[in-house]
Structure 1
Amino acid sequence: MNNKIIQYSVNFLPWQFRGWIKHIPIISNLQRWFFAKFLAGQEFIHLINAGPAKGLKYPVKLPEDKAIWSGTYEPDFALVLANSVQPGDICYDIGGYRGFFSSVFALAGAKLVITFEPLPANISQLRRLAEVNPQLPLRLESIAVGEEDGFVEFYVMPEASMGKLENSSFQAEVKGSDLLTVPIRKLDSLVSEEAIPTPQVIKIDVEGAEVQVLKGAREMLCKYHPLLLIEAHSPLLANDCTSILRELGYQVSVLETGFAPNPQSDPEVCHLIAKFP
């Protein structure tokens, strides 16, 4: 009974206030104590009842999935993703992590969401997510995306649900806990081979390999002009991504500021929104 009460307790709070709890010391400490005593390490299927992921059944483990449990995982970016989808769109989620944003795309009306994710731990979670939400149009591609076709070395980061290409500049000082060899493909190759349908919306979060993804997608971007939503992991990467996109005719702005990218004032990690006029 205690477990059920804790699992569903978040649903009684208005969605807009759920992210505030962590800033209230007494409540946040009490919540952490309950998680540790009653739910630590246990998976349960939670129905998110508010926010862009409303209606999603998610296999949750607390405390690591706390933000997903509350439906407040990167809420501003999630709202932008949801609002970017038109009914019937094809969406790519490149660097799908544990599937929250893929699900937001699907719940917003996408016809198909193709999730690209090479990390085994996340692949298992994505398969589990699709299993408990069979109504959602989710398709998994267990590969990395970049500027080459073949195989590449891929680091599993100390946080085991995160990974990066060996040549990624993201957290260059941090060595992974394991090194895997994973398949990698260019989007241009996949589209030209008709292995995947062409997209209207693409989200990219690839831990420092954003530039490689864009370089491997030039032909597709020039021809089909999808909307791009990119998490850039440093001002330098944001600048490099912006240069490529502007060469291709895109207009680029930063979600956090509402203005064109500015390496001197943008956040260390920011979200780029790239639209074709």
Structure 2
Amino acid sequence: MKIFNPKIDYLAKFLKYGVPKIKNGKFGIRYILYPESALDRHIRKYGIFQDFMTTRAKELLPQDSIIFDIGANVGLMTLPFAVLAAPKGKVYAFEPDFPVAARLQVNVDINYLQNAHVIPKVVQDNPNLKEITLYRRRAIDGDNLVNEGLSSTAKIPLHTILGYTVMCTTIDAFVKEQKIERVNLIKIDVEGTEIKVLRGGERCIDQNRPIIIYEYSAIIDELSRSDNSAKSFEFLKGRGYIQFEIFNERQLKKINEPDASIKSSNIIAFPQERINAYRLWINNVLGGYEKI
């Protein structure tokens, strides 16, 4: 197995693609942008990424919220979470892909965010595991831009360029280690292992009943030959969560069972016993769909 050297890789990338630029996005948030990055294109064009949840999460959360951004990439959701949703709280941004985590740290630093903390670890389900293999994946889109947000502990041959050893933890282990007393929101985007993240946070989820946002993707399930999305849905359903698909970045659609027709989308899940607290927000977003 190849042991990855983040310093060498970061330098090689810098020499290949040139000097990155800093851009001021929406809400005064600054980003370091690379010309070859597919995700950075969203910032260049719109000034923010996935603005539905990054801007509207503040309507659901107290300002001192504790947020876990698991699969944080370069911080395109971490930064708005820290600035808008939890300015008096904390955002723990988990990103194990070393060169990506380096950019995440730079984005945190150039915004002088004291409430955002970069954790370069995989989040999974085994509390006894200290290291794990991460498969670094990169893809080139139709515009010859690089998608760096694909790395996973799931062994997906497509776009995998190497495997290397990284540190790992679980939600429950991290909460205990850091003596975190509550968690308000957990966002998970880990390319096919969302169910492992959820299982590793069983105690935290049962005790704190956070809002949970996770990726649901039939495409990734097929690539990884797993039923990760359905298992994630059933895990939360079994714990009394009501779940909605976020689509068109503006609307919600309630889903009651796993849906293989969802090719790639985000699901937002609310604990059923607290649904009345979120009812007005949900109904406003649902628009023409059946009200809860």
TM-score range, shorter chain: 0.7 to 0.9
- Equivalents in 2 of 1:266, 1:201: separation in Å? 26
Residue of structure 2 equivalent to 1:62: 35
Name the TM-score, length of structure 1 as normaliser.
Answer: 0.76
2:99 alignment partner in structure 1: 121
Question: Which structure has the higher relative contact order (CA within 8 Å, separation 6+)?
Answer: 2
Deviations 1:118-177 (A, max 9, x none): 011111101111221114521111100010132111111024723433435xxx341511
Q: Could you say if the C-alpha distance between residues 195 and 157 of structure 1 is closer, same or farther in structure 2, counting changes exceeding 3 Å?
A: farther
8 Å CA contact 2:57–2:85 kept in 1: the answer is no
1:162 alignment counterpart: 149
Task: Tell me how far 1:186 sits from its aligned partner.
Answer: 1.0
User: For residue 213 of structure 1, what is the aligned residue in structure 2?
Assistant: 197
Q: Go from structure 1 to structure 2 and tell me whether the alpha carbon gap of 1:197 and 1:123 turns closer, same or farther (over 3 Å shift).
A: farther
1:185 to partner: Cα distance: 0.7
Give the one of 83, 91, 98 matched to 2:67: 91
2:281 matched to which residue of 1? none
Partner secondary structure for residue 118 of structure 1 = coil
Q: Deviation of residue 84 (structure 1)? A: 3.5
Unmatched runs of 5 consecutive residues or more in structure 1: 1-39
The C-alpha deviation readout for 1:191-238, integer Å capped at 9, x for no partner, is 223354531011110011100000101111011101101112227433
Residue 231 (structure 2) aligns with:
240
Q: 1:82 to 1:226 in 2, by over 3 A?
A: same
* CA distance in 2: counterparts of 1:261 and 1:142, whole angstroms: 35
Give 5+ residue unaligned stretches, structure 2: 1-16, 140-146, 222-226, 274-292
Question: Which is worse superposed, 259-268 or 186-195?
Answer: 259-268
Identity across the alignment (%): 21
User: 1:149-188 alignment to 2 at 5 Å?
Assistant: 149-159=129-139, 161-167=148-154, 172-174=156-158, 176-188=160-172
In the alignment, structure 1 residue 130 sits paired with structure 2 residue 108: yes
TM-score normalised to structure 2 length = 0.72
Q: What secondary structure, in the 3-state scheme, does the structure 2 residue paired with 1:108 have? A: helix
Query: Residues of 2 paired with 1:90 and 1:265: CA distance?
Result: 32
Residue in structure 2 matched with residue 45 of structure 1 by the alignment: 22
1:271 aligns with 2:266: yes
After TM superposition, give the deviation of residue 83 of structure 1 in Å.
Answer: 3.7
**8 Å CA contact retained: 1:83, 1:108:** no
Moved more, 72-81 or 112-121: 72-81
Letter in 2 for 1:161: E
Q: Is the 8 A contact 2:48 2:76 kept in 1?
A: no
Question: Could you tell me which amino acid in structure 2 is paired with residue 47 of structure 1?
Answer: N
On the 8 A contact 2:183/2:204 being kept in 1, the answer is: no
Shift of 1:115: 0.3
